[in-house]
Amino acid sequence: MMTNRLAGKVGLITGAGSGIGRAAALLFAAEGARLILGDKNPSVHDTVAQVLDAGGAAIGMQMDAGAEADVAAMVATALRCHGQLDIAFANAGISGGMAGIFDLTPEAWTEILRVNLIGPWLMVKHAGKVMADAGRGGAIVCTASVAGLRSGAGGPAYSASKAGVINLVMVAAQQLSETNVRVNALCPGLTETGMTQPVFDLARQRNVTDKIGRLNPLRRAAQPEELARVALFLASDEASYVNGQAIAVDGGLSSSHPVTRQSMGKTAV
- What CA–CA distance (Å, rounded) separates 106 from 212? 31
DSSP one-letter string for 211-230: GTTTTSTT-SPBPHHHHHHH
Residues 6+ apart with CB under 8 A from 163: 144, 147, 148, 149
- What CA–CA distance (Å, rounded) separates 235 from 61? 21
Beta strands in the chain (DSSP E): 10-14, 34-39, 57-62, 87-90, 138-143, 181-188, 246-249, 261-263, 266-268
CB neighbour burial string for 69-93, b if at least 16 within 10 angstroms, e if fewer:
ebbebbbebbeeebebbbbbbbbbb
- What CA–CA distance (Å, rounded) separates 12 from 74? 7
- Is 241 a catalytic site residue? no
46: nearest Cα among 62, 30, 33: 62
C-alpha radius of gyration, the chain, whole number = 18
Query: Is the Cβ–Cβ distance between 212 and 220 less than 8 Å?
Result: yes
246: nearest Cα among 178, 192, 167: 167
Query: Is the Cβ–Cβ distance between 250 and 187 less than 8 Å?
Result: yes
3-state secondary structure of 83: coil
Q: Looking at residue 255, what DSSP letter applies?
A: G
Catalytic annotation, pick one of 158, 232, 234, 250: 158
Residues annotated as part of the active site: 158
